[in-house]
Amino acid sequence: MKREVMAASHKVAHAAYNRPSILKEIIYGIMAGLAAGFLWKMHHWNNQRRTKEFYDLLERGEISVVLKDE
């Protein structure tokens, strides 16, 4: 019984120490880069939208950047 447990634990330990696959690492890196790039692009799209809305409101005269004298 004890020998079977040792053999099973050896197989589990051996499976945990396989060397990493280079192709998997490259794919993971590309996917992480694309995800980060997409989030960065979404951030810039949001800033662009907000800037466009600001200048549209400014052009229509709904807002002003000049302080009113009281």
Per residue in 15-66, pLDDT (tens digit) is 566 778 999 999 999 999 999 999 999 999 999 999 999 999 999 999 988 8
Residue 69 lies in a domain: no
Residue 68 lies in a domain: no
Which is more confidently placed, 24 or 3?
24
pLDDT score, position 69: 75
pLDDT score, position 10: 59
12 pLDDT higher than 80: no
pLDDT score, position 35: 98
Residue 70 lies in a domain: no
Residue 3 lies in a domain: yes
Residue 12 lies in a domain: yes
- At CA 58, angle to CA 56 and CA 43, rounded to 5? 55
Residue 28 lies in a domain: yes
Q: What is the signed CA dihedral for 34, 36, 38, 41, rounded to 10 degrees?
A: -130
- Please give the residue range of the domain that contains residue 50: 1-60
Residue 44 lies in a domain: yes
Q: How many domains is the chain built from?
A: 1
